[in-house]
Structure 1
């Protein structure tokens, strides 16, 4: 009788088995998984297969591995992950088209000296401060909390941005790719405030990936500063850098 062919590689089957055990609570968060050698003996697999299965769990954000310290469970379920690849301004704006911005609040403020410097504007002039959630389509799961700072100048749809019913659409139209000359981005580590953590449904002490974007229009004028905080495992940013010759 011919053996039925496997639908998955052996390492993937073992990875799924371990994942199910983690989700059931057989391996609670903070506990150690069996060693590679123990997995080999228990499941009759090679060391390479065991290592590949554990690597699969690492990629899913379920475990962490340290030499000499074993494989420790760090999450019971795989976190939602939004991955976005980009190498042009047009592709960056596709991120806005493939996700949804939900503006939670918008206020008009007067810039003090520090904010005026930050927004490249005159002290005492008005700016808009918006706070919103970036939601994944179509699940509407939150992937970031975003603060937006907009100097109030000619061409800024301030009244529409101040209206919660029209703010999200006004932001999208304001940042249309055809109006942008460039976007400057800075990535670093940060932490969430209690209010920000509550919006995303996470613990207040979770680390964050902070993405700061400065959107510039004609004559290099700053149109908006947007600061987004992403929880661990919910967002990945990829780009391809090509070497050119002249």
Structure 2
């Protein structure tokens, strides 16, 4: 018999005191409780309704928080059975990654994304080369800049190219905070299974230099990520351009015996 654990008392999340989006705050709080044994292995954690009431958030926020926990292997959800705490995965069965897709949920939570434009475009030769997508196809383009909470100068430009099949998401992006791909997953019942990242050196264009307050042709890094779903389609491509002085990529490699 699965043990049901009651929800804690209502305690709204304090987004104003955190740079993390609400779903990440909720996920981290639940994760801490799981690690500390509040919800032991095999126990049911509170229902979506109970968690909505506890954190004073929407059902969408709760579902995103639970998605984070599932991707970390802390819980599993079964239709009609609720969300159950799972035992820790052993080193033999774990997949060792430098960066998981779940890490991208937290990526950039210390910045805010200000959208400048949302429109359907047809990829020309230049954009096709930049995004790795076929020339002549229609994609939803979202352009904007990321800024830190305390600084007015942008840390970089972020470009989103969203598959036309999911372009309806554009209607609500101006009201959305946080990563876009989880929103598309939730709206269309999709699941990103692979993210390919490419980092390249580039030069700041004249137009971009004014927006980023750096010299034209100064050094920059261009990070392109392609998000793929199980049927092989690309759900979205992001291209982030950062002045060299405002971005640092850190990676740790470990050796594991087979």
TM-score (norm 2): 0.51
The answer (yes or no) to whether the contact 1:214–1:226 under 8 Å persists in 2 is yes
* Cα distance, 1:135–1:114 mapped onto 2, change above 3 Å: closer
* Cα distance, 1:157–1:192 mapped onto 2, change above 3 Å: same
* Cα distance, 1:198–1:182 mapped onto 2, change above 3 Å: same
> 1:116 & 1:135 partners in 2: Cα distance?
27
Q: Between Structure 1 and Structure 2, which shows a larger proportion of strand residues?
A: 1
Count of matched residue positions in the alignment of Structure 1 and Structure 2: 157
* Cα distance, 1:179–1:100 mapped onto 2, change above 3 Å: farther
Query: What displacement does 1:176 show?
Result: 6.5
CA RMSD for the aligned pairs?
A: 3.1
C-alpha deviations, 1:83-124, integer Å up to 9, x for none? Answer: xxx622212221132321111112212345786785656x76
The answer for the alignment partner of 2:215 in structure 1 is 203
The structure, 1 or 2, with the larger RCO (C-alpha pairs under 8 Å, 6+ apart) is 1
> Of the candidates 183, 206, 223, which is equivalent to residue 174 of structure 1?
183
> Of the candidates 102, 113, 126, which is equivalent to residue 90 of structure 1?
102
Matches within 5 A, 1:74-85: none
The answer (yes or no) to whether the contact 1:157–1:170 under 8 Å persists in 2 is no
Q: Secondary structure at the match of 1:157?
A: helix
Q: Secondary structure at the match of 2:217?
A: coil
> 1:175 & 1:142 partners in 2: Cα distance?
26
* Cα distance, 1:185–1:132 mapped onto 2, change above 3 Å: same
The answer for the alignment partner of 2:156 in structure 1 is 144
C-alpha deviations, 1:102-147, integer Å up to 9, x for none? Answer: 11112212345786785656x7653112211112234354211122
> 2:241 & 2:126 partners in 1: Cα distance?
21
> 2:179 & 2:104 partners in 1: Cα distance?
18
Residue 236 of structure 1 pairs with residue 248 of structure 2 = yes
Unaligned runs of 5+ in 1: 1-85
Bigger radius of gyration: 1
Query: What displacement does 1:205 show?
Result: 2.1
